[in-house]
Structure 1
Amino acid sequence: MLALLGLVTILALLATIMTNKLSPLVALILIPIAAALIGGFGLETTGFMVAGIKKIAPVAVMFVFAIVFFGILSDAGMMDPIINRVLKTVGMKPARITVGTAILAMMVHLDGSGAVTFLVTIPAMLPLYDRLKMRRVVLAAIAAIAAGTANMLPWGGPTLRAASSLGVEVTTVFNPMIGVMIVGMLSVLGFAYLLGLREEKRLGYAGSDFAKGESHVRELTEEEQANRRPKLFWVNILLTIAVIAAMITGILPAAISFMLGTVFALLINYPRPEAQKTRIDAHAKAALMMASILFAAGAFTGIMRETGMLKAMAETAAGFVSPEFASHMPAAVGVLSMPLSLLFDPDSYYFGVMKVIAEVYQTFGGDPVAIGQASILGQMTTGFPVSPLTASTFLLIGLTGVPLGEHQKFTIPLAFAITLIMTIAAILFGVFPL
């Protein structure tokens, strides 16, 4: 009975979110409550929700302050010298321009926002592509795979959701994947370079055809210039390194690292209270939106776990999985993770599908964290900038003027290849069992 009720709950969640019948926030709260009441748990349901919310609170706090922290540093212009250096270095050589595009997208994606990454990267690089008659679909593809791979960061949406769904610290999911992520980023740079060489060949350029000493200059609006603090560049860089190092090494909990980082970023760059309030307000909407979904997801997982629905579903599903295949589940999930971005939005997958797979894997004695790690190799990481389920995809194709079909046809093979490379790396590094 519980297994069937859990299955209906998951299917209802997927259906209402994917068909836009309900927003993720409403679906994650309303549907499990209805299921618990149908299951006869009554007012106990509220206790289940509180238990789930308590587990997810540290992750939600970290995400809120991570958004504000990186937003403040971006406003202060920490990325400007890096962007300008990239633009100056790439000059007018296509192979350098494509690699520079990838580096720029990965650097800008430090804040974990696909929208911000594309809003900075595309306008900065598009004039170069147009001037040299390079294809815009190449720009869209490189920005997509670079931002997608960087989306594995511990404050990125997929990794946060995976940790929240599994009820573990985000560093538990991310830290063993650092080497795998580096392999993915190097793969992105390799593909970008090859695409640049292909563009050079297509355009018939020779080494002497490139303009010497020329580079594209990025222009800022008056408001952006007013918020810049160029003299504090190195101070902000050191602050960023300190915050990330404290989080990854475990010296401080992730939430505390970003809380303190946000405080120091405000005090250093915007000491006046009025300016601090303005900068916080500028990033509050994005932070609050994601935090509310995470807390709703905490209520959902709390109900599913405490009622026993999740365990019952896993035990039933385990009956259809052979012991021989069970050990290969993380690798299989890794391979399928990128295509799953085309079928499931992140909330549906991480708080619904992945949770069940993790429980099944645990039934066979596996560590459910491995399923979360396998999922972030592609599900709304490399897959998010090609998925029609994310707004960032449409922002990307809108900025580049590339039709969705053309973008997907060109980019999906690259994104899938990078996911496969990272899956192999995870196996070789011992993150996943053979």
Structure 2
Amino acid sequence: MLTFLGFAMVVTFMYLIMSKRLSALIALIIIPIVFALIGGFAAGIGPMMLEGITKLAPTGVMLMFAILYFALMIDSGLFDPAVRKILQLVKGDPLKVSVGTAVLALVVSLDGDGATTYMICVAAMLPLYSRLGMSPRIMAGLIILAGGVMNMTPWGGPTARAASALHVDPSAIFVPMIPAMLAGVVAILLIAYLYGKRERARLGELHLPGDAVEHGAISVSQYPDARRPRLIWFNGALTAALMLALISGLLPLPVLFMLAFGIAMIVNYPCLQQQKERVAAHAGNVLAVVGLIFAAGIFTGILSGTGMVDAMSKSLLAVIPDAMGPYLALITAVVSMPFTFFMSNDAFYYGVLPVLAEAASHYGISPVEMARASIVGQPVHLLSPLVPSTYLLVGLAGIEFGEHQRFTLKWAVLVCLCILFAALLMGIFPLFGSH
């Protein structure tokens, strides 16, 4: 009965959000409550939901302040010199333009917001591609590949979802994955180099006049009044210190981002009115993400509290051949590519991953290792027709969605495989679990 209820709940949830009958936020709250009532768990439903929300509170706080912090750094103009330098260096050489596109996208997508990354990168690079006669498909492909790798940061979305679904610390997923992500970055730069070389052979090198004048005015900040060019060294040092503290595990992630945000806000925007404006400018982004995390607390709380997840994993274990069970981390990493392509991140991380993780625990594979394996497919996920921001990218670049998919999909799979092999080589998650 519990197994049937659990699978029916996950299937109903996935169907409703994929058919756009309900938003993920509403579905995460309503669906588990309905199924808990059907299963006769009315008496314990409150404590179950509260326990789920309590477990996810640190993740929600971390995401809230991480998004605000990076938004603040972009507003203040921290990344402007890097963007200008990249545009200055690439000049009229298609090889440099191609590699510069990848580097720029990797830098800008640090804030974890796909739409912002696409707007900034396309605005900066498309004029160059047009003037040189380069294919905008290359630009769109490199930008989305970079976004896919940087999407693995704890504030990017998938890592936070995996952490909230399995009740593990986001930094425990992310920090060990950094070397594997670097392997993905190297793969992207190599792809950029190969396409740049091909375009250089096709077009030759052009010398464009007046570049320095144009680049001096470029800024990735969308709010001219919020720029703080005089504080760039302070903001750079603060961000570097935050990253070092994050990697070394000096303090819990939520506390680190709260501290960094507080310091950045006081120094950059000492006036109370300015502080209110900065928070208000990014409140929509924050609310959309944090609301989802707390709603997920109800879903995972009921899934665990009713015993549905245990029953589902036992039935899954019965189906999985004994010989395949120890390879569940590898299987999860591989299926994360098609699964997150054909279904939303919410459906995969809240619906499928908890069941796989519970089954994997019987083979000595920990939830945090399963969480790391589950984020490997993100570069492929962004090419899914279910990702709204990808339509923005192809629209800005002036290319067809299908054309973009055909061009980029093979490279996205290659980047995912590079991350997967690097993770296995470094023991970030195991190839083979033990009973």
Q: Check whether TM > 0.5.
A: yes
Query: What is the correspondence of 1:50-61 to structure 2 with a 5 Å cutoff?
Result: 50-61=50-61
Can you list the C-alpha shifts for 1:381-411, whole angstroms capped at 9, x where unaligned?
A: 2124311111111010011011000000001
Q: Please report how far the alpha carbon of residue 310 of structure 1 lies from its aligned counterpart in structure 2 after TM superposition.
A: 0.3
Letter in 1 for 2:109: H
Once the two structures are superposed, what CA deviation does each residue of 1:51-78 show, in whole Å capped at 9, x if it has no partner?
Answer: 0001100001000011111111111000
Moved more, 412-421 or 169-178: 169-178
Find the counterpart in structure 1 of residue 401 from structure 2: 404
Check conservation: 2:79, 2:220, Cα contact below 8 A. Answer: no
The offset of 1:327, in angstroms, is 2.1
Q: Name structure 2 gaps, 5 residues minimum.
A: none
Q: How does 1:37-52 map onto structure 2 within 5 Å? A: 37-52=37-52
Stretches of structure 1 that go unaligned for 5 or more consecutive residues are none
Partner residue of 1:147? 147
User: Quick check: 1:224 aligned with 2:220?
Assistant: no
Counting aligned pairs with the same residue, the percent is 42
> Is contact 1:70–1:111 with CA below 8 Å preserved after alignment?
yes
The CA deviation at 1:324 is 2.0
Q: Counterpart in 1 of 2:133?
A: 133
Q: Which one of 409, 418, 423 corresponds to residue 415 of structure 2?
A: 418
* 1:6/1:310 contact within 8 Å kept: yes
2:32, 2:299 within 8 Å by CA — same for their partners in 1?
A: yes
State the distance in 2 between where 1:89 and 1:102 align.
13
Normalised by the length of structure 2, the TM-score is 0.96
Asked if 1 retains the 8 angstrom alpha-carbon contact of 2:63 and 2:154, the reply is no
What are the within-5 Å matches in structure 2 for residues 302-341 of structure 1? Answer: 302-341=301-340
Bigger CA drift: 341-350 or 301-310?
A: 341-350
**Per-residue displacement from partner, 1:239-279 (whole Å, max 9, x unpaired)?**
11122222221111100111111111111111000000000
**CA distance change for structure 1 residues 223 and 396 in 2, over 3 Å: closer, same or farther?**
closer
TM-score (norm 1): 0.96
CA-CA distance at 1:221 after TM superposition = 9.8
Aligned residue-pair number:
429
1:394 maps to what in 2? Answer: 391
Q: Which amino acid aligns with 1:191?
A: I
- Equivalence map 1:21-36=2 (5 Å): 21-36=21-36
Counterpart-to-counterpart distance in 1, 2:142 and 2:232: 27
| 1:17-416 alignment runs, 5 A limit | 17-203=17-203, 205=204, 209-211=206-208, 214=211, 217=215, 219=218, 224-378=223-377, 381-416=378-413
User: Is the contact made by 1:358 and 1:368 (CA closer than 8 Å) also made in structure 2?
Assistant: yes
Q: CA deviation at 1:113?
A: 0.5
Distance 1:377 1:411 in 2: 17
- 2:323 is paired with a residue of what secondary structure? helix
Q: Which residue identity lines up with residue 54 of structure 2 in the other structure?
A: K
Report SS of the residue matched to 1:43. Answer: helix
Give the Å deviation of 1:225: 2.6
Say if 1:223 and 1:293 are closer, same or farther in 2 by CA, change over 3 A. Answer: closer
CA apart distance, 1:433: 2.3
Question: 2: CA distance between counterparts of 1:220 and 1:251?
Answer: 33
Q: Which moved more, 1:335-344 or 1:308-317?
A: 335-344
Q: CA offsets per residue over residues 100-120 of structure 1, 9 Å max, x none?
A: 111111111111101111111
Give 3-state SS (helix, strand or coil) of 1:386's partner: coil
Please give the root-mean-square deviation of Cα atoms over the aligned residues, in Å: 1.6
Question: Whole-Å Cα distance in 1 between the matches of residues 211 and 84 of structure 2?
Answer: 13
Q: CA deviation at 1:222?
A: 10
| Structure 1 position 10 matched with structure 2 position 7 | no
Determine helix, strand or coil for the equivalent of 2:376: coil
Distance of 1:86 and 1:423 partners within structure 2: 30
Deviation for aligned residue 1:178:
1.2
Q: Which shifted more, 209-218 or 162-171?
A: 209-218
Deviations along 1:214-254, one digit per CA (max 9) or x if unpaired, are 46525459973321110111100111112222222111110
CA–CA distance in structure 2, aligned partners of residues 242 and 296 of structure 1? 32
CA distance in 2, matches of 1:30, 1:385: 27
Q: Distance in 2 between matches of 1:223 and 1:339?
A: 35
Secondary structure of the corresponding residue to residue 42 of structure 2: coil
- Post-superposition CA distance 1:168-214 (Å, at most 9, x none): 110111121111011111111111111111212233x1x5x444894
Describe the shift of the 1:250–1:123 C-alpha distance in structure 2 as closer, same or farther (beyond 3 A). same
Give the Cα separation in 2 of the matches to 1:373 and 1:37.
33
